[in-house]
Amino acid sequence: MSETETKPERYMRPLSAESRGNAPGRGRLKGRKILVVGGGQRTVDAETDPVGNGRAMSRLFAREGASVIVADMNLTSAEETVTMIMNDGGKAQAVQADISQPADITRMVTQAHMTLGGLDGLVLNVGIGVGPLGLEGANTDDWDKALAVNLRGPMLICKDALPLLEDGASIIFISSIAGLVAGSRLPSYDASKAALGGLMRHVAMEGTRRGIRANIVAPGLVDTPLGRLATQGRPSRGRSPTPFGRQATGWEVAYAALFFMSDEAVYVNAQTLAVDCGMTGIS
């Protein structure tokens, strides 16, 4: 490159109305009854926090006509999501549950089923990353804690929910591209997210007898409060290049989940969709 030539600027994908969460609903989930586990969000800076994946999904599903149970271990955060939904004219109720506690899982699923008068949609938006980076700092306590939430919790939820779900229901696991490629530098997180694929496929297999589908949405780098918190602990995360020049928004993850939840995906089963602007495919 000569001195007079300039290096082209990286393309940045502009934000659409869907990316910003401003697009109107289209009735794609009219009459549906959905439990979103992990529908609250972490607060890092209340004044500047973007929307998290769980909150975006809860709001979008309600906007598309569903009645939503928003479950979270932080009841206040779940209630904040419900307030947003109701202010938009939607229907929602909050439930407190810690999915590392089996009794909470059974209560949550039973309560959601009774409150809505049935269930035909389930989203498992759960996951934690704990402990020092790398194998050298790994220990059994952090490993067990991560797998209790990231893998055992979703398994127990599906165990309780599958008999209650209506025929033709949709189950969506929110995973991560860390389950597809190495990158988080947290062995327990990477391993649990990879194992989630095996759980999803088993749930899909059992569900086929009743037309119940199970799929995974695997986000890449997403600008959420939890993502910003992760960047504080590992600054290199925020400097990672992306093909589209920016991180995803929580709404963009929510629209991928909306596809799986809707009848538009009625013949899509046991699949993993990476929402990462191609990072896992072309990097």
- CATH code, domain carrying 177: 3.40.50.720
Examine residue 168 and state whether it is found in any structural domain, yes or no.
yes
Tens of pLDDT along 179-233? 999 878 899 999 999 999 999 999 999 999 999 999 999 999 999 887 777 666 5
Examine residue 174 and state whether it is found in any structural domain, yes or no.
yes
Examine residue 275 and state whether it is found in any structural domain, yes or no.
yes
Total of domains in the chain: 1
Domain span at residue 173 reads: 29-282
> What pLDDT is stored for residue 46 in this prediction?
83
Q: Phi/psi of residue 84, each to 5°?
A: -60, -40
Examine residue 75 and state whether it is found in any structural domain, yes or no.
yes
Examine residue 24 and state whether it is found in any structural domain, yes or no.
no
Examine residue 18 and state whether it is found in any structural domain, yes or no.
no
Examine residue 5 and state whether it is found in any structural domain, yes or no.
no
Please say whether the beta carbons of 261 and 29 come within 8 A.
Answer: yes
Residue with tokens 């990286």: 10
DSSP 3-state of 227 = helix
Active site residues: 189
Tens of pLDDT along 116-169? 999 999 999 999 988 888 899 899 999 999 999 999 999 999 999 999 999 999
Tens of pLDDT along 253-282? 999 999 999 999 999 999 999 999 999 988
> What pLDDT is stored for residue 130 in this prediction?
87
> Positive or negative CA dihedral for 240, 244, 249, 252?
negative
Residues in the chain: 283
Model confidence, pTM: 0.92
Relative to beta strand 165-174, strand 213-219 is parallel
Examine residue 9 and state whether it is found in any structural domain, yes or no.
no
Full DSSP string of 128-158: ---S-STGGG--HHHHHHHHIIIIIHHHHHH
Band of residue 1 on the pLDDT scale cut at 50, 70, 90: very low
